[in-house]
Amino acid sequence: MKNKSILVTTIAGVMLAASLSPLVTASANAAKPKFVSTETKRPVGYDEPTKKEKLNLAYLNPFGGNEFLDAMGTAMKKATTKLGGKLTILDGKGDVNLQVSQLQQLTAQKVDGIFVFALDPNSMKPALAEAAAAGIKLISIDENFKNNDIGVYDSQILQRRDEAAYLGAKRMTKLIGSGSSYATMDFAIAVPSIVYSIEQAKKWADAFGLKWAGNASNPSDDIAGGTTAGTQLLSNYPAIKGIIAYNDPSAIGANSAGKAANVSGVIYGGQNGGSDARAGIKSGNLSYTIQLAAPSIGKFAAWGLYNANQGKKLPKTVRAEAPVLVTAKKMKSVPSWAKELKAK
């Protein structure tokens, strides 16, 4: 996937601009479900290590050049360097076989720990077993959304996609009104985290009283693909008042489709919260986004691998710092990933 905005579903902020539809206030009788999730039972991250050590860590980045994934890598490198270690970042380039080969290469090099963002979890299992057998500490991301069954990994970090889906559905309901019809947009490739994001978005939208009309898939994980899928949605479901997309480029593309078809009165919500989302909100091409805490994930990955190497037992599952709704009004008060990384 490209993104330059990946695996993520944008569902946040609203832009009072001529290119977007008028906002609709939800009725006083709208459902107001509270956020309840297995995610809330998980601790936020790991303890910061107190002992510095020259460890060799690695990060398997599935798609180099993706802002979200690169932000995690930058944060992990800063945290590793601060602790006296060295971080190697390998770009999987969206190639499952290449990523498996990279994992085998790191195992042969006898690195101390690896943060794995697997393109295809099943294809990685044999190589992961070899790494674990060699004594290499392993941390995954979003390996299992519901329980601690994470295979040979020492621990996993959840991006808090359920909470992001809740925030997006809540915002969408406020903008189009409970009882209104909406559609979703997923990715053509069934990436587990994206599938889960859309499933949870539908669950929470239903709880808030919205009516799901249907779904279309972005074929290319970019704005152009979002335009294609958006054209489908607006043509097939002309009564919809909102589109919840799995990431920001998809929502921006859907808005372009609406403009081309002279469709008004539709709210476009995304997820991820990168620079493209902020630019889209400023220009009026995106209604809102949910910003995921990418820098915290990278930092926690380094901390977790250090703790594991220093003999500390890790929780099987931890969660990232909280996702945040970003709107035109809130943008100044919510630091971008770049500002967060510069400050850390």
Average pLDDT for 161-168: 98
Strands, DSSP E only, in 32-128?
56-61, 86-91, 113-116
The residue whose two tokens read 């971080």 is 87
pLDDT of res. 128? 98
Assigned CATH topology for domain 41-160+294-321? Rossmann fold (3.40.50)
- pLDDT tens, 172-229? 999 999 999 999 999 998 888 999 999 999 999 999 999 999 999 999 989 999 999 9
Helix 192-207 to helix 161-176 angle, to the nearest 10 degrees? 40
Under 8 Å between Cβ of 304 and 46: yes
Which of 269, 172, 275, 165 has its CA nearest to residue 226? 269
Where in the chain are the domains? Answer: 41-160+294-321
Residue 131: pLDDT band (50, 70, 90) is very high
For residue 344, which amino acid is it? K
Alpha carbons 309 and 194: distance in angstroms, whole number: 31
Which of 291, 307, 311, 297 has its CA nearest to residue 45? 297
Whether 308 has a pLDDT exceeding 90, the answer reads: yes
For residue 184, what are its two tokens? 């979703």
DSSP bridge partners of 268: 243
- Give whole-number Cα distances, 119 to 7, 58, 62, 107, 314, in Å: 11, 16, 6, 18, 24
Whether 82 has a pLDDT exceeding 50, the answer reads: yes
Under 8 Å between Cβ of 53 and 84: yes
Under 8 Å between Cβ of 166 and 206: no
